[in-house]
Amino acid sequence: MSDIYGEILLDHYRLPRNKGRLEHPTLSVEGVNPLCGDELTLDLEFDGQRLKDIRFSGKGCAISVASASMLTEALKGKTVEEIERWIGVFREFIRTGRAPDGVELGDLLALEGISKLPVRVKCATLPWSALEEAISRYRG
Q: What's the rounded Cα separation, in Å, for the pair 45 and 98?
A: 31
Q: What's the rounded Cα separation, in Å, for the pair 126 and 130?
A: 6
- Most distant pair of Cα atoms in the chain: their distance: 42
Q: What's the rounded Cα separation, in Å, for the pair 129 and 64?
A: 11
Tell me the per-residue pLDDT of 38-76, one tens digit each, with 9 for 90 and over.
999 999 999 999 999 999 999 999 999 999 999 999 999
pLDDT for res 20: 98
pLDDT for res 5: 66
Tell me the per-residue pLDDT of 6-34, one tens digit each, with 9 for 90 and over.
999 999 999 999 999 999 999 999 999 99
Amino acid occupying residue 60: G
Q: Is 116 exposed, middle or buried (0-12, 13-18, 19+ CB in 10 A)?
A: exposed
In the predicted structure, residue 4 carries a pLDDT above the cut 80: no
- The residue count of the chain comes to 140
Q: What are the DSSP calls for 65-106, one per residue? A: HHHHHHHHHHHTT-BHHHHHHHHHHHHHHHHHSSPPTT---G
pLDDT for res 133: 98
Q: Is the separation of the CB atoms in 123 and 60 below 8 Å?
A: yes
Full-model pTM: 0.95
pLDDT for res 1: 47
Q: Is the separation of the CB atoms in 38 and 61 below 8 Å?
A: yes
User: Structural domains in the chain?
Assistant: 2-139 (3.90.1010.10)
pLDDT for res 139: 95
Half-sphere CA count of 7, side-chain side, radius 13 A: 4
Tell me the per-residue pLDDT of 91-121, one tens digit each, with 9 for 90 and over.
999 999 998 889 999 999 999 999 999 889 9
Q: What's the rounded Cα separation, in Å, for the pair 113 and 80?
A: 28
pLDDT for res 131: 98
